[in-house]
Structure 1
C-alpha cells in the first residue's frame, strides 16, 4: 500500500464528545471496543494509550470486542512502522464502540467513523442494521461526491448516504435472507448487489468501501453482537 500521508476525519463521531458525571461516580467501569479495517490492501493495528488492543487486522475484517476501563484514551492506528494518532476518544461506562477506518480513492488519505453500537434487545421477529459509508465514490460526469441509496431487495431503506456518513439503525424481519442493493442516488442504477442474511435479535453494520464506480467496490457485513 502507498505511504499514508494524512488523516482526514470525514466520519461522524457519535456519543464520544464528553465524559458523563454518572460514569465518573462509579469506581470501576467497563466499556467495549471493536475495530474494523476498511482500507483496501492495508493491515492495521490499534493502540489505546500504550496498550495494543488489536494487531494484524486485514482489509474487510473486524476484531472482537475488547473490554477496557471506561475512560478517555489516546487512540493510535499502526500501519507497519507507522503510528498515526487519531486523537482522544472516550469509552463510556457500559457502552460498546467501533472505530471504522477507511480511505479515499487515492489510498493516501484516511478517514474514520467512531460510533456507538446498539446491542439492546430487538423486538419481535427482527434484527437491526445500519450503514457506514467508507466508499469514496464520485459522479463520473463532474467528479462531485456520489451519494448512495441502500435497498434490501427492492425496498430503499437509506437514501443519499455520503462518504464518511453513518445512518441510524433500521429494523428488518429476521431470520431471513435478502440482497443488499446499492444504487446511484434516486436512480434504478445498481452499483453493487450483495447477498446477505439476518439472524433474529442481532445488530449489524454494513460497511461500504472502495469506489462504487469500479470493481473494487465492496460492502462488508459486521455483526455487532
Structure 2
C-alpha cells in the first residue's frame, strides 16, 4: 500500500503499486497531487510488515486532528518513527562502535560489514519500541533490510550480503562522509577490546565484561 513492496518485485506480474507511490516515484494508484479534504497526502505507514504500534499511533493522531503535512517525511511516512534509525537502540551497537563484525548469522557481532545490515541508514524505531515489547530483526540475529523504504525488495544483492568496492562497504551510515568513516573504523578496530573481538564471532558470550570500580 505504501510503495508496492514485495508484491511488486521481479517482473511485477500483478502490477502492484502503492496508493500514491510506485516504488520511489510519485504517482501510484492515486496521482502525486492527491490530497484529502484536510490537505494530507496518503500517509505511508511503511514496513514489511509494518509495526502495529505505527498503525495505531497514526490512527490515534488522525482521530485527534493532531497530524498534519509537517508531521510526515519526504516520502509521507509519519515522522514519529521515520525520524529514528533502526540503528538507534540496537543491542549490537557496542560491536558496531568498535567495528567488531559477525561473519555468519549465528554470531553476535555487528552485521553491517559482512552481512548486509543497513540499520544505520534505514528509518524506523524498531529497536526503541521493540515488537511485542522485546523483538526486532537485529535482536533476533537478522540484518535490517530497510523494509520501510521504497524498493527495498530488490537490493540487487542478497539480503545477507554487504556489497563492497575494494573491501569498503558501499552503503555507509547516513550523513557520514566516506573518508571520516574509514578513519574512524581504522581507529575503532585498533582499539577493539579482546572481549568484543572474541564475542563478535561467537554464537554466545565467551568473554565476560571485566569487573571494575567506576572512576570519579
Higher-Rg member (1/2): 2
Q: Which has the higher strand share?
A: 1
Q: TM-score, normalised by structure 1?
A: 0.24
